[in-house]
Amino acid sequence: MIRPVSDPIGLEVRWDRLAAATDEAASTMLRTAFSTIIRESNDYTVVLMDREGRTMAESRAGIPAFAALMSSLTALVLERFPAEEWQDGDCVITNDPWIATGHLPDIAMITPVFHRGRLVAYAGTVAHSPDIGGTPSLSATELISEGILIPPLRLFRAGRVDEGVKHLLLANVRLADQVWGDLEAQAAAHAVCRRRAQEFLADFDEPDFEEFAAQVHSVTDAAMRAAVRELPDGVYRSTVDADGVEGRPTHIACAVTVRGDEVGIDYTGSSPQVPFSTNSTLNYTRAYSMYPLKILLDSSTRTNWGSYLAVRVTAPPGTIVNPTFPAPVVARHLTGHLLSCAVYQALAPVLPDRVIADSGGAPALRVRFAGVDDTGRPFSLMLFANAGMGASKETDGLSTTAFPTNSGSGSIEALEAASPLRFLRKELRAGSGGRGRRRGGLGQDIEVRNPTSRPVQMVLLGDREQHPALGLAGGEPGATAQTVLDSGERVPLKSVSQLPPGSSVVISFAGGGGFGKPEEREPEFLVADEIAGYTVRGPERGPVTVRPARADGPEEVGR
């Protein structure tokens, strides 16, 4: 039901203030976090929710898709801990992949906000922990091998740490100081949210957020439904293939159904779940289907719970996009990030001016280095770096830019300060963007050296080794990703290996797909690309012959 907004300017002022509160809380988390994953790579989210757990405002940095599932996450937490059981100063955490954000390293935190003695809201965060125990390997066949599973538990009770929960958690991780430091950083962000939310209600003389939440949810719901109504009714299909694990490719089948002001995204026909860590839980599948659709159709309106009421995402249980417990899921992004490609390929026939070609960073390539330096101090470092985005009809793809995630790369200086590793170079990868009337964004080459006298473990979680980012409308695929040791040996992108003492490795990130026929690119753009060093002549960029995604025309459905 659309609620009338009698004072849209006043509503915007209040909404902007609440969003600023989440941004301030996010800054607090970044400044107090111990690990580079949060403070450098922005792998987190911060939200404020109403008393029902529905998001009202979200931080503008961090991972937007995480914010998209905070409402469903909180609803499940409230089933375990009903509203009447909460006290001021309570804090519940969980990393259950079927409740939270899809894999164990992400720890979600929920805290209540009280005003004048009444529970009026919740603050929520998710942050990627630097360590969650377990054995980092894609060969895990069940969840328990991937780390400690935390069901919804109270970490704080009325402002006091539950020492039993704390000790149990820290006894199961290797980097206890960093893990606890990051959890305290999340708690600090919650304190900012709580204080600013209370000030908001006091300044506007409101008893709670009920009226405000109803209005902002109505605004976002109406905006999304208006955007959906502009699409012709029909069923639009695509398929996307991924490298898979151990030579077993996986398949994503996507059907986008538009009916009036609602959209259904269904993944029937996708591969069965696999005994490897690339399964994507349904909540993660929903997040990485809804968020790309939201920015495609309604990029100008802020997001909250109302933004996704018009979208329904379904997938058969037991598939790679809806696995059953206890499937391994630590590398769920290798499937989940591809869903943006599937949705955009499906809608390309009806939104050719707005979709982009596949991005080389969908899915993202992550590299974890771990070991012991020459002083005997253990270290663990997750390298977050970005590939090239896909091109659109009007513009070249952005180089080394994350999509559909929003994680940052962080500074080389900070990464070197946190480990003994040395970064010898970090540069654009010439020729990696797919050719087209508009060129795909470039990936990058990063060379990392192990200067210690001990081997360093290197865990690669990537794809796009055999299946590059596809182009659209005649655009060519981008270059595939690869990792090569200084010995010339190629390291598979899903592997656990050793970087020997004194050795280096070059990690090459994939390029984005091109848009439009290459022969239609304007001569001045070709010259500019060559002058800038974006193109290369001579050696092939890597294998690019793949079965293309299928984008069928609409099948008529009734309104």
pLDDT in tens, 223-267: 999 999 999 999 999 999 999 988 889 999 999 999 999 999 999
Answer whether residue 389 is part of any domain.
yes
- pLDDT reading at 288 higher than 50: yes
> What local confidence, expressed as pLDDT, does residue 409 receive?
77
Q: Within 13 Å and on the Cβ side, how many CA atoms surround 418?
A: 23
Q: Which of 81, 6, 13, 53 is nearest to 213 (CA)?
A: 53
Three-state DSSP class for 101?
A: coil
- pLDDT reading at 5 higher than 60: yes
The least confident of 318-327, 374-383, 441-450 is: 374-383
Answer whether residue 283 is part of any domain.
no
Answer whether residue 335 is part of any domain.
no
DSSP 201: H
- pLDDT reading at 330 higher than 80: yes
Question: Which residue, of 221, 255, 277, is where some domain finishes?
Answer: 221
Answer whether residue 232 is part of any domain.
no
Q: Which of 170, 186, 177, 81 is nearest to 128 (CA)?
A: 186
> What local confidence, expressed as pLDDT, does residue 65 receive?
85
The arithmetic mean of pLDDT across residues 335-355, rounded, is 97
- pLDDT reading at 483 higher than 70: yes
By residue range, what is the domain housing residue 63? 8-221
The least confident of 40-54, 125-139, 150-164, 301-315 is: 125-139
Number of folded domains in the chain? 2
Question: Which residue, of 221, 247, 273, is where some domain finishes?
Answer: 221
Residues 29 and 176 in one domain: yes
- pLDDT reading at 1 higher than 90: no
The answer to whether the Cα torsion of 370, 374, 376, 377 is positive or negative is negative
- pLDDT reading at 199 higher than 90: yes
DSSP 190: H
> What local confidence, expressed as pLDDT, does residue 506 receive?
98
> What local confidence, expressed as pLDDT, does residue 402 receive?
92
Give me the percent of the chain exceeding a pLDDT of 90: 86
pLDDT band for position 136 (50/70/90)?
low
Answer whether residue 422 is part of any domain.
yes
pLDDT band for position 546 (50/70/90)?
very low
Question: Which residue, of 221, 249, 274, is where some domain finishes?
Answer: 221
Angle between helical axes of 176-203 and 8-32 (0-180°, round to 10): 160
Chain segment 19-45, per-residue pLDDT in tens: 999 999 999 999 999 998 898 888 999
Helices (H) and strands (E) counted in the chain, each on its own, are 12, 19
Q: Phi/psi of residue 143, each to 5°? A: -60, -40
Average pLDDT along the chain: 92
> What local confidence, expressed as pLDDT, does residue 421 receive?
97
Q: Is the separation of the CB atoms in 357 and 397 below 8 Å?
A: yes
Chain segment 60-110, per-residue pLDDT in tens: 888 888 999 999 999 999 999 999 999 999 999 999 999 999 999 999 999
Answer whether residue 261 is part of any domain.
no
Instruction: List strands edge to edge, sheet with 366-372.
Output: 378-384, 366-372, 456-461, 494-499
> What local confidence, expressed as pLDDT, does residue 559 receive?
33
Q: Encode burial over 465-500: b for 16+ CB neighbours within 10 A, e otherwise.
A: bbbbbbbbbebbbbbbbbbbbeeeeebbbbbbbebe
Answer whether residue 473 is part of any domain.
yes
Radius of gyration of the CA atoms of the chain, in A = 23
3-state secondary structure 111-131: EEEEECCEEEEEEEEEEECCC
Q: Is cis: bond before 404, omega within 30 of 0?
A: yes
Answer whether residue 246 is part of any domain.
no
